[in-house]
C-alpha cells in the first residue's frame, strides 16, 4: 500500500512538473490536457507529449490530477508477433478442418438412406469387382495353358525355324501373363480399398446417427452445413 502511494505521489509530482513548464495555462485548461507517463528503471517519466524514453514501452495517458484515462501496451516483440501469427494460423486450420468434416458428414448422410442402403452399395461394388477379377484370372489361366502347350511343342520339334517361332510366341505370352497378373493385383488392391472405404463410411454413419443433431449435421440428409453459402 505504501509503495502504491509513493508511486502515485511520484506520478502526481511528475504531472505537476509537466504543467508547471507550460506558462500562462489556467487550471481549467490544464484539466483537459493529457499527460503521458511510462516507467523507466522503476521511476515514472512523463510529458505533455510522449517522452522519447517511452518509445517501445507501455505507457499511460493520464489527467493532470493523476487519473489514468488509458493504458497503452508495449509493442509486441518479433517473437511475440510470430507466436500470435502461429496461434492464429492454427486456429484457422482447425476451423477449416472442422468445416471440412461437417461437409463430409453431410455428404455421407445424403449419400446413404440407411445402413442397409450402405451395405447394399458395398455388396454391389464388390460383386462387380469379383466378377472382373474372376474374368481376369480365367484369361490369365488361358494364357498360361497356351504357353505350356507352346513350350511342349518347342521341346518336341526338330525344326529350328519352328522352334525359333515357338520361342518368340512363348516370350510374347510371357509378357501378356505378366501384364495380366499386374492388372489382377491392381483389381485386388481396388477391392481392398472399397472394403476399407465402406467400413469407414459405415462407422462414421453409425456415429452420426447416434449423435445429437446439434453437431451441425442434418440427420435426415437434407440439412445445410453451417457456414456454407447454400
pLDDT in tens, 2-47: 444 444 455 454 554 444 444 444 444 545 689 999 999 889 999 9
Q: Please give the model's pTM, rounded to 2 decimal places.
A: 0.56
Residue-wise pLDDT tens digits, 77-89: 889 999 999 999 9
By DSSP bridging, strand 43-47 and strand 59-62 are unpaired
> Which grid cell sits at 189?
488392391
Cα separations in angstroms, 121 against 113, 132, 197, 201? 11, 17, 12, 12
Q: How far is the C-alpha of 155 from the C-alpha of 141, rounded, in Å?
A: 21
Question: 13: helix, coil or strand?
Answer: helix
Amino acid at each position: 500500500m505504501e509503495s502504491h502511494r509513493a508511486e502515485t505521489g511520484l506520478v502526481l509530482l511528475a504531472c505537476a512538473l509537466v504543467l508547471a513548464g507550460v506558462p500562462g495555462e489556467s487550471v481549467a485548461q490544464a484539466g483537459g490536457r493529457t499527460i503521458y507517463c511510462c516507467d523507466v528503471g522503476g521511476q515514472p517519466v512523463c510529458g505533455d507529449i510522449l517522452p522519447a524514453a517511452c518509445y517501445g514501452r507501455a505507457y499511460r495517458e493520464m489527467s493532470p490530477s493523476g487519473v489514468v484515462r488509458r493504458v497503452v501496451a508495449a509493442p509486441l516483440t518479433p517473437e511475440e508477433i510470430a507466436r500470435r501469427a502461429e496461434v492464429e494460423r492454427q486456429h484457422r486450420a482447425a476451423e477449416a478442418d472442422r468445416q471440412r468434416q461437417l461437409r463430409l458428414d453431410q455428404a455421407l448422410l445424403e449419400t446413404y438412406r440407411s445402413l442397409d442402403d450402405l451395405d447394399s452399395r458395398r455388396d454391389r461394388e464388390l460383386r462387380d469387382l469379383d466378377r472382373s477379377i474372376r474374368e481376369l484370372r480365367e484369361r490369365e489361366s488361358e494364357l498360361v495353358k497356351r504357353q505350356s502347350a507352346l513350350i511342349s511343342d518347342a521341346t518336341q520339334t526338330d525344326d529350328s525355324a519352328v522352334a525359333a517361332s515357338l520361342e518368340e510366341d512363348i516370350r510374347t505370352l510371357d509378357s501378356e501373363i505378366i501384364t495380366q497378373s499386374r492388372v489382377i493385383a491392381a483389381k485386388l488392391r481396388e477391392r481392398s480399398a472399397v472394403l476399407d472405404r465402406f467400413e469407414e463410411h459405415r462407422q462414421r454413419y453409425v456415429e452420426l446417427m447416434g449423435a445429437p443433431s446439434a453437431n451441425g449435421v442434418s440427420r435426415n440428409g437434407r440439412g445445410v452445413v453451417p457456414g456454407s453459402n447454400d
